[in-house]
Amino acid sequence: AYQIVYDHENWKRIAAYLNTDNYDKIPILNRLMILNHANKLSYDVEQDVELTIEILSYLSREKNIIPFLASQSVLNILAPKLINTPEYEPFRRFSLDLMKSAMSHIRIFDHRQDNKVTEYLKRQIINMACRFGHQDCKRVAVAKFIEAINNKNLK
């Protein structure tokens, strides 16, 4: 695997393009690579944290489930860096908004046509949404747990 090293200005251009309605002109595999490279960017200085968030912002329009999973590793890197700072709460809300967007775009609770990979990806997104405080998380988790117990008892 290779990684392209962009300077700050090119990263800003990439972020700006991703945040247009033409983001899907970048092929899905390239969007995944950008998010993967943003992983390294999120380890660096504070200015790069802001840039990483600019890059992730495009996900509010993303229709494909896979980039959301790629963003999970970036969010997992940023969360501990920001947890005890004033920036954590805006970051948490931003992350939660991304997960809400993912949940609405990919019909998170509709499993009729899901294969095992899609089910796994959806579970990862639900876990992230719960971690960032999604309001329905407990309610849905309890309902699913009760449903599973009832279905198990019926068999």
One digit per residue, the tens of pLDDT, for the chain of length 155 reads: 566 778 889 999 999 999 999 999 999 999 999 998 887 776 665 667 888 899 999 998 998 888 888 888 889 888 998 899 999 999 999 999 998 888 877 776 666 777 888 788 888 888 888 888 888 877 877 888 888 888 875 55
Extents of the domains making up the chain: 8-154
- CATH architecture of the domain with residue range 8-154: Alpha Horseshoe (1.25)
Q: What is the pTM of this model?
A: 0.78
**Residue carrying structure tokens 């960017």:** 41
Distance CA 26, CA 129 (A): 26
At 145 the pLDDT is 81
| Spatial contact of 51 and 15, defined as CB atoms under 8 Å apart | yes
Exposed e or buried b for every residue in 100-110, given b needs 16+ CB within 10 A?
bebbebbebee
Segment (H or E) for 89: helix 88-105
